């Protein structure tokens, strides 16, 4: 069962996807949202078998550290599927719209292309983190694009 806080994120995500369809006539979908610890273990281990630990740590959170386990993160993909979970998603109509509009619904592009050294993650144009519209509005006003920089936290540690 997802954490209680995820209810707000879920409603905001539903509204964001519905608004996209209403405003553009196109569609997008949730590819992945809440993940249990056990699911994160299987996702992480499957990648390690293919890529090894070093490459996996750049793209998949170790079990216990994934934002998906909080229920506040969503991976969005185009519908029909196009560039799912790939950096080319950024150039799709859906990816561009999210980049420009997700803040309206309280979602933050969590791992921007130019902030890999700050977040510790590769660019993930499909991964959005719910932080609420008050925070996204304030981050937009002040020009911050990562939680680490907004809260003056050190860059993400390596494992
Ligand atoms: Zn994700």
Nearest one of 8, 75, 86 to 35, comparing CA atoms: 75
Q: Which residues pair with 79 in a beta bridge?
A: 27
What is the pLDDT averaged over residues 63-67?
A: 93
pLDDT at 159: 61
Distance between Cα 87 and ligand 1 center (Å)? 12
77, 83, 85, 87 alpha-carbon torsion, rounded to 10°: -120
Phi/psi-derived region of residue 83, left when phi > 0, alpha when psi is between -120 and 50, beta in every other case: left
Section 144-153 average pLDDT: 96
How much is the mean pLDDT over the chain? 93
Task: Give the pLDDT band of residue 155 (cuts 50, 70, 90).
Answer: confident
The 10s digit of each residue's pLDDT in 95-145 is 999 999 999 999 999 999 999 999 988 899 999 999 999 999 999 999 999
Compute CA distances 44 → 12, 76, 105, 145, whole Å: 27, 19, 29, 27
Residue 138 Cα to ligand 1 midpoint, Å, equals 23
User: Residue 4 has what DSSP assignment?
Assistant: T
pLDDT band, very low/low/confident/very high, at 4 (cuts 50, 70, 90): low
For the annotated catalytic residues, the residue numbers are 124
Ligand 1: centre distance to CA 116 (Å): 15
Q: What is the pLDDT of residues 73-102, one digit of tens each?
A: 999 999 999 999 999 999 999 999 999 999
CA dist 62 to 36, 53, 134, Å?
A: 12, 10, 29
Residue 20's closest CA among 82, 72, 96, 106? 96
Q: How confident is the model at residue 59 (pLDDT cuts 50, 70, 90)?
A: confident
Helices vs. strands in the chain: H and E counts, helices first:
7, 4
pLDDT class of 51 with cuts at 50, 70, 90: very high
């Amino acid at each position: 069962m997802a954490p209680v806080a995820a209810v707000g994120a879920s409603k905001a995500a539903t509204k964001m996807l519905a608004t996209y369809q209403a405003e553009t006539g196109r569609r997008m979908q949730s590819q992945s949202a809440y993940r249990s610890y056990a699911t994160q273990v299987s996702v992480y281990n499957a990648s390690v078998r293919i890529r090894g630990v070093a490459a996996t740590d750049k793209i998949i959170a170790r079990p216990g550290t994934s934002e998906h386990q909080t229920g506040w993160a969503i991976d969005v993909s185009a519908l029909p599927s196009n560039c799912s979970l790939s950096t080319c998603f950024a150039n799709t109509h859906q990816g561009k719209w999210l980049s420009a509009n997700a803040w309206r619904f309280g979602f933050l592009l969590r791992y921007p292309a130019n902030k890999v050294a700050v977040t510790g993650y590769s660019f993930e144009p499909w991964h959005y983190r719910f932080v609420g519209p008050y925070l996204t509005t304030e981050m937009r006003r002040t020009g911050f694009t990562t939680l680490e920089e907004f809260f003056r936290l050190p860059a993400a540690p390596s494992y």
